[in-house]
Chain A
């Protein structure tokens, strides 16, 4: 008689059986495999690279601990110093050109009415082409004799420069190829940002008398600041780490005009087999990317989150 009062007809549900363990922990459990994979691969590579940078590797792959010697050697190496300056110029040029192009494309795609999906789809195509393939394409386009660009210039009766033979021009073509590769994704991010802006805000700006330029700089740009931050992270990261495009386009030449840090790293580690100094360059790239990303996150993404408080 005493037991009948407690029994209910239904068996416990999964939720009840989980009890205190609870559904709150489930999302974390589900993140673990992905997190473990990323941390495993990335963590191993980073830790291994850092370890490598503190060691001297001889021709039998025996490693000796040398402290900061590799760092000292690299920072005193004029070739490294030149490649670092070159990389910074490359990144700044890529950001300026890449972000300007992405913003232009994003605004255009935002306003395209007819064939909207087609154009948005098409705009992503360069992103699906691998860096190597993109670079090979650019080689064809910019080859001195028989390249498309020089063909057009020739037909117009203009001077046909040696695009990939001239140090300055080769550097510019590398920046251009790099932008061609990374702009689509940045465009997509910015387009996403543009689409979050309430259309009534543009109506209000129209009534308030803001012209297209004022609307862009005073309304659109501040409102898509977080997305701008994300695309800046993307553009800077891709440009700092760019390797495949330069390898296939110029291989660092002519006269090292396009030898950026990642190219020199490849040179040191895999051609001169100086793994220790190569690893130092990896650490340098990692630090640059991390610091720059933190900077963007702080000034673009977090700064804007403050305005969203209370929403």
Chain B
């Protein structure tokens, strides 16, 4: 089996008696942009901090570039980290912040100057070098934090929720900037976020974590299109996937021999190849954008309960025989609460999960 550039095997972490990570196995290729995503408390930041050497390893191994680093000091692991609070040294100017790690390593002064010049050029920090962090905007501080990581020429970049302190507009800008930086430098990057949009847009590989375990690893769109379990299905996507409890039933239609009954008399179509037997309890998942609105006479009848026009799309909430259903339309739907309509679901876009195990069927 090929070695990963960053490799975790059987990695465990306890805080006191509380297990935080239950055995992480993951291989990250050189040059990849990997995003660890999950709700707070899922262990993603702990995993990142263990990679950085800021948390000890309870059990298992971490390898970076083929070297076991479990007991290697943070400063010697060849990593650089960008923190959520930026963690700039407030009493040092921008260039002193950038130079600090190099000074600690007794790098010759001309090399330091060169490195600062290079990083400042890439990150457009040159006019700011004399300023103190307090005199910078949020986005500029973010860039200084990245510059501080850059001058170390690390083997791996670690980002710990770096954009969560920025306002929405700046966040989108910085997102693109970080991605562009990665495309330019091709340095292996591990990026932690709870924001699934960041995960989807930035990653080559998304690692969805939950309760100290990895739920699914893969290409962002592949995970989006084929979530392996209920947690991933529910976590990725905004607005979230509709998940309806139901039972598989046989039907009389020859082209749709099986369907899922989500409410008495309400049958929804399922993909032809789904491994579901009549009588089985399942969770029926369909993304809001895969529910098509049609006229009142066609499809399953629903009643609109809430209409949220967002400009480029419309979020609708509808009542389907007492069940709440989210619908996303890219058109400007003129519906009002109380209006009646019909819905159609493309069976090939449906996700079926076993209700007991939560696994995809």
| Chain B residues with CB below 8 A from A207, complex form | 52-54, 74-75, 79-81, 101
A207-B81, A311-B134 known; A223 and B74 CB under 8 Å? Answer: no
Interface-facing stretch out of B82-90, B174-182, B224-232, B284-292: B82-90
In the complex, are the beta carbons of B91 and A203 less than 8 A apart?
no
| Chain A residues with CB below 8 A from B135, complex form | 309-310
Distance between B352 CB and nearest chain A CB, rounded to angstroms: 44
Name the contact of A198 in the complex, choosing from B53, B74, B85, B136 (C-beta under 8 A). Answer: B85
Distance between A209 CB and nearest chain B CB, rounded to angstroms: 3
B104 contacts A by Cβ under 8 Å: yes
A207-B54, A207-B79, A208-B101 known; A200 and B87 CB under 8 Å? Answer: yes
| Chain B residues with CB below 8 A from A3, complex form | none
- The number of inter-chain residue pairs (CB within 8 angstroms) is 69
A248 contacts B by Cβ under 8 Å: no
Interface of A is mostly: helix
Complexed CA–CA distance, A206 and B89 (Å): 13
| Chain A residues with CB below 8 A from B148, complex form | 204, 208
| Chain B residues with CB below 8 A from A218, complex form | 100
A207-B79, A207-B101, A209-B101 known; A201 and B134 CB under 8 Å? Answer: no
A222 contacts B by Cβ under 8 Å: yes
In the complex, are the beta carbons of A201 and B75 less than 8 A apart?
no
Complexed CA–CA distance, A232 and B100 (Å): 29
| Chain A residues with CB below 8 A from B100, complex form | 205, 208, 210, 218
In the complex, are the beta carbons of B134 and A206 less than 8 A apart?
no
B169 contacts A by Cβ under 8 Å: no
| Chain A residues with CB below 8 A from B132, complex form | 307
Distance between A252 CB and nearest chain B CB, rounded to angstroms: 44
Q: Which residues, 153 to 190 on B, are CB-close (under 8 Å) to A?
A: none
Which of A204, A205, A309 has the most B CB atoms < 10 Å from its CB?
A204
In the complex, are the beta carbons of A203 and B87 less than 8 A apart?
yes
In the complex, are the beta carbons of A309 and B104 less than 8 A apart?
no
| Chain B residues with CB below 8 A from A219, complex form | 89
A214 contacts B by Cβ under 8 Å: yes
Residue of B nearest to A311 (CB): B134
In the complex, are the beta carbons of B104 and A208 less than 8 A apart?
yes
B105 contacts A by Cβ under 8 Å: yes
Complexed CA–CA distance, A198 and B83 (Å): 11
Which of B74, B83, B90 has the most A CB atoms < 10 Å from its CB?
B90
| Chain B residues with CB below 8 A from A223, complex form | 89-91
In the complex, are the beta carbons of A203 and B105 less than 8 A apart?
no
A308 contacts B by Cβ under 8 Å: yes
Q: Which residues, 274 to 311 on A, are CB-close (under 8 Å) to B?
A: 304, 307-311
Distance between B158 CB and nearest chain A CB, rounded to angstroms: 9
Complexed CA–CA distance, A309 and B80 (Å): 28
Complexed CA–CA distance, A201 and B89 (Å): 7
Name the contact of B134 in the complex, choosing from A205, A208, A225, A310 (C-beta under 8 A). Answer: A310
Distance between B135 CB and nearest chain A CB, rounded to angstroms: 5
Complexed CA–CA distance, A51 and B144 (Å): 59
Q: Which residues, 81 to 133 on B, are CB-close (under 8 Å) to A?
A: 81, 83-85, 87-91, 100-101, 104-105, 132
Residue of B nearest to A225 (CB): B91
| Chain A residues with CB below 8 A from B53, complex form | 206-207
Instruction: Annotate B42-57 by CB proximity to A: 1 below 8 A, 0 otherwise.
Output: 0000000100111000
Complexed CA–CA distance, A205 and B80 (Å): 11
Instruction: Annotate A183-222 by CB proximity to B: 1 below 8 A, 0 otherwise.
Output: 0000000000000001011011111111000100011001
Name the contact of B84 in the complex, choosing from A200, A210, A225, A310 (C-beta under 8 A). Answer: A200
Q: Which residues, 214 to 273 on A, are CB-close (under 8 Å) to B?
A: 214, 218-219, 222-223, 225
Name the contact of B81 in the complex, choosing from A204, A308, A311 (C-beta under 8 A). Answer: A204
Q: Which residues, 119 to 137 on A, are CB-close (under 8 Å) to B?
A: none
Q: Which residues of B line the A interface, CB within 8 A?
A: 49, 52-54, 74-76, 79-81, 83-85, 87-91, 100-101, 104-105, 132, 134-136, 148
Q: Which residues of A line the B interface, CB within 8 A?
A: 198, 200-201, 203-210, 214, 218-219, 222-223, 225, 304, 307-311
Identify 10 new A-B residue pairs, CB closer than 8 A, beyond the known A204-B87, A207-B101, A214-B104: A198-B87, A200-B83, A200-B84, A203-B81, A203-B87, A205-B89, A206-B53, A207-B75, A208-B101, A219-B89
Leading 5 A-B pairs by shortest Cβ distance: A209-B75, A208-B101, A200-B87, A209-B104, A204-B87
A-B contact pairs, 17 of them (CB 8 A): A201-B87, A201-B89, A203-B49, A203-B52, A204-B83, A204-B88, A206-B54, A206-B74, A207-B80, A207-B101, A208-B75, A209-B75, A210-B100, A210-B104, A218-B100, A308-B134, A309-B134
